[in-house]
Amino acid sequence: MMIDVRGLTFQYPSGPGFTFPDFTCAAGEHLLVLGQSGKGKTTLLHLLAGMIRPTAGIIKIQNTDIAKLSNRDLDKFRGQHIGIIFQTAHFVDSITVLDNLMLSPFLSGKKTAESEAINVLEKLSVGHKASQKPASLSVGEQQRCAIARAVFHKPSVILADEPTSALDDKNAEQVIDMLEEQARQTGAALIIVTHDKRLKDRFQKQITL
């Protein structure tokens, strides 16, 4: 199993606590996590990404209990195995789009050719923006570039946080198409957390918080 979550709880030091249902997600499987605001969707995503550590429970990704990794190993593991798409696309502003993509293999130490980055950018029709600074791109283009950055190094898990919330129907559909297509091509497990009801009918496997 690519992702295996059991007995997961998280308590903010001086805030709400969350108890999450157990779930699994196999390689190539796509999972939609639905929930209203405040139900801990982003918290779950950050737990899966190892950006925060659970209060209790086990998160296994590719049979690695990520809560047991050291800080440094967790950073590296995240960089090599997990691609994350945040609600709003952010970049290192001082370098080009292509360099922003190549930052990922550089930081994680997972060798990935520049041609792969250009390939994916082109597939997402932002290839012509590769040598521009991120700030000069439209919001939609930035979102595509963020997707490209999350997937081009072929992570085994792709996590997306509200990828469609800011987009109209047509663009929302396109973005989900792209995500599914990229996940399918690399056989990655795809988890999308959202409150966007438009996505409800597209995914067979769903959990609701």
Partner 1 sequence: MNLLKISWSNIKHKPLNTLLSIVLLSFGIGIISMMLLLKSQISEKFDRNIKDIDFVLAAKGSPLQSMLANIYHVDVPTGNIKVSEARRIIKNPMVAEAIPLAYGDNYEKFRIVGTNEKYPNHYGCSLAEGHLFSAPFEVTIGASVAQETGLKIGSTFTSVHGYDNAADDADAHHHQLFTVVGVFARSNSVIDNLILTPVETTWMVHEHAEEPATDSLNVDSTHVEPEREMTAYLIKKRNKGAFGMLSKQTEDTTMQLANVAVENSRLMNNFGLGLSTITAIAIVIMVISFISIFISLFTSMRERRYELALMRTMGGTRATLFTLIIQEGLLLVVLGYAIGLLLSRVGLLVLSHFMQESFHYGLDNLAINSQELALLGLTLLVGLLASAIPAWQALKIDISKTLTNA
Cα 116 to Cα 18, 19, 85, 101, 205, distances in angstroms: 39, 39, 18, 10, 30
Which of 71/204 has CB closer to partner 1? 71
DSSP state at residue 206: E
| Contact pattern for partner 1 over residues 66 through 95, marking x by CB under 8 A | -----xx--xx-xxx---x-x-x-xxxxxx
Decide: 1 and 161 in contact? Cβ < 8 Å. no
Adjacent-strand bridge partners of 56? 9
Q: Is 97 in the site for partner 1 (CB under 8 A)?
A: no
Which of 46/123 has CB closer to partner 1? 46
Which of 51/58 has CB closer to partner 1? 51
CA angle 75, 78, 41 (to 5 degrees): 115
Tokens of 8: 């997961």
| Contact pattern for partner 1 over residues 149 through 188, marking x by CB under 8 A | x---------------------------------------
3-state SS assignment for residue 75 = helix
3-state SS assignment for residue 161 = strand
Q: Is 143 in the site for partner 1 (CB under 8 A)?
A: no
Q: Is 110 in the site for partner 1 (CB under 8 A)?
A: yes
Q: Determine the residue type at 79.
A: G
- Candidates 6, 46, 123, 205; binder of partner 1 (CB under 8 A) is 46
Task: Tell me whether strands 56-61 and 23-25 are parallel, antiparallel or unpaired.
Answer: unpaired
- Candidates 51, 67, 69, 166; binder of partner 1 (CB under 8 A) is 51
Which of 5/84 has CB closer to partner 1? 84
| List of residues contacting partner 1 (CB under 8 A) | 42, 46, 49, 51-52, 71-72, 75-76, 78-80, 84, 86, 88, 90-95, 99, 102-110, 149
